[in-house]
Structure 1
Amino acid sequence: METTAGPAGPPELRADCADCFGLCCVALPFAASADFAVDKAAGEPCRSLGTDFRCGIHTRLRRSGFSGCTVYDCFGAGQKVSQVTFGGVDWRTAPGTAGAMFAAFPVVRHLHELLWYLDEALTLEPARPLHAGLRALLDETEELTRRDPAALAALDLAAHRARVGELLLRTSERVRAGAGRRRAKDRRGADLVGARLRGAELRGASLRGALLIAADLTGADLRQTDLLGADLRDADLTGADLTGCLFLTQPQVNAARGDAVTRLPARVHRPAHWG
């Protein structure tokens, strides 16, 4: 991940590559594209991964054709699987653990992303009536991340995500109801690829799951807008105001374009490649 600083939020949800066995560089596949210079199969170590589990081209990933790596964030799942699930025993020292370790990693990564959203929801005052339920789900999700590899493999992740998603939606509705004006149109899941939304008044809107790839959001008002799962790849956020927007993650910001005037919520940081 390439940012001016690590993502905000709980330390355990921040990626710590020093305590990880390079899992994102091994467990996950990628295909030759604008984001990755070569093909790599799941379970195959990236050719740039060193024996110390560090990336040999970390400081020049974008120049080397691996911009996709600078967007990715494991939300701390890498070190959780490396140091907790597998007790600090790496897949090179114990090759027999590789399959289970690589299977556990994406499951824990999904759970850690849910923890990110739940933790944010617990900071939102308008959602206080929902805090008890949010806290219970956060504790349950954290417990799931600490299960053994077999239990993680058997987990019905879709069902758990649906439960969390329903409560996050109720949280979003409460927060957006206080946007101070008639809320913008609900555009959940909308296809807005390449949309011209320059200067758009989107305060309090739901853009949850919307496709905003290469959309022009220059100068748009995105305050208190729900951006959970919105695809912001190459979206232009130059001069946009995302103050108080909901459920924005560092990977979404890293995938977008912006500038020094773009206003971001405190939980994320301005990417280094924005200049």
Structure 2
Amino acid sequence: GGVDKHRWSMTGYRAAEGKGDSPRWSMTECRDGYVVLVNQTDNGSTKRVAVYDPLTRGLHLLSAPPEEICGDPEDTAVEFHVVTSEEDRRSLRVVCVGKESGEVRVAVFSLGSRKWQISPEAVSLQLDGEDNGTLVNGCVYWATGADIHVLNSATLQFSRIDRPPHMRREGYKIGETSDGKLCVAWATSSPGLSVWVRRADGSGVDKWMRDRAFGTRAIGELNLEFVDELPVLALDVVAIIGGIVYLSIFQPSLPSASGWFLSFCIETKELKKVCPITRSETSYPYVMAWPPVLVGNKVNSLG
């Protein structure tokens, strides 16, 4: 029946302790089998960037982004995204986005040239410095204000699309379905999950369409174990990867209590408990690509 091209695991980190301006590494993103690590001082100055492949244990060390992008660390928020190629996932680029006082600048690092290419002009755009964008099919998306802003990582051009109806202003996540369609999900107060997918309607125009998700009853059927027999639960969307919505659920009255990591398949509507977690940890769902020799592709085929 063929080999599934992906398997998933979970990875977490605890930031290294540091004093003063001593640099320390932190994890900022997991994407397409790669982990992005950033080395910063306490004042937010970026010293180095690294892209790590846990499958091969390969580590790509990048130089610090240009000062034109990072600016003053007290006023500029910086985020990074790894863009891979379907033909050869080893041919990756790193997109750096600097957000400062209503302006956005972009630079791209290529492993081939080992240099940062800076976008010619800054774009007047108010992006939330605390809210990193989400990479989907080569584009980075930010839901800011009344619109969703889009950066094409190939052309470095910005555009915008409308938000889904009734979309929450916080607590949402942007991702893709199993067939690559853009989607957005957020937790409801019941608690439950609301999912919207952007698809073409009968006239061929892309529109947001509500997708059936789940409510409190589905959570109860999982028989999750908590400290209290009848807990008040807080549900958070962690990420959407390949048509799977990853969620965490806790008792909000117990900040240090254990919780559960859940998964919801948009296609099959199946909600599963994955593993127990603690609220004090920062965790990322991580999708690991199978080695090319097992699946066969243009780079390394079984013939």
TM-score of the two chains, using structure 1 as the length reference: 0.32
TM-score of the two chains, using structure 2 as the length reference: 0.30
Q: Which has the higher helix share?
A: 1
